[in-house]
């Protein structure tokens, strides 16, 4: 996991603990990165199995 992936993961985990799902705009604001960079990091986290998306609940499942 790269530093940026770790940062995105930690933001998602922290917001999840407070019952929120971060939007793309939240992640852009908190990381200062582009949509493309964030999508690549999230895709990598999904492929590594660190995150899963529950479509029914519309919430992240954190490993």
**30-49 pLDDT tens trace:** 999 999 999 999 999 999 99
pLDDT, residue 25, reads: 96
Q: Say if residues 42 and 50 touch (Cβ distance below 8 Å).
A: no
Q: Is the pLDDT of residue 28 over 90?
A: yes
pTM: 0.90
Confidence of residue 63 (pLDDT cuts 50, 70, 90): confident
Pick 3-62's CATH classification: 1.20.1250.20, 2.60.15.10, 1.10.10.10, 1.10.940.10: 1.10.10.10
Q: Say if residues 28 and 41 touch (Cβ distance below 8 Å).
A: no
**10-19 pLDDT tens trace:** 999 999 999 9
Q: Where are the domains of the chain?
A: 3-62
């Amino acid at each position: 996991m790269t530093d940026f992936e770790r940062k995105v993961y930690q933001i998602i985990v922290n917001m999840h603990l407070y019952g929120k799902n971060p939007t793309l705009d939240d992640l852009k604001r908190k990381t200062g990165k582009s949509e493309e960079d964030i999508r690549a990091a999230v895709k990598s986290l999904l492929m590594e199995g660190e995150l899963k998306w529950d479509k029914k609940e519309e919430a992240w499942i954190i490993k």
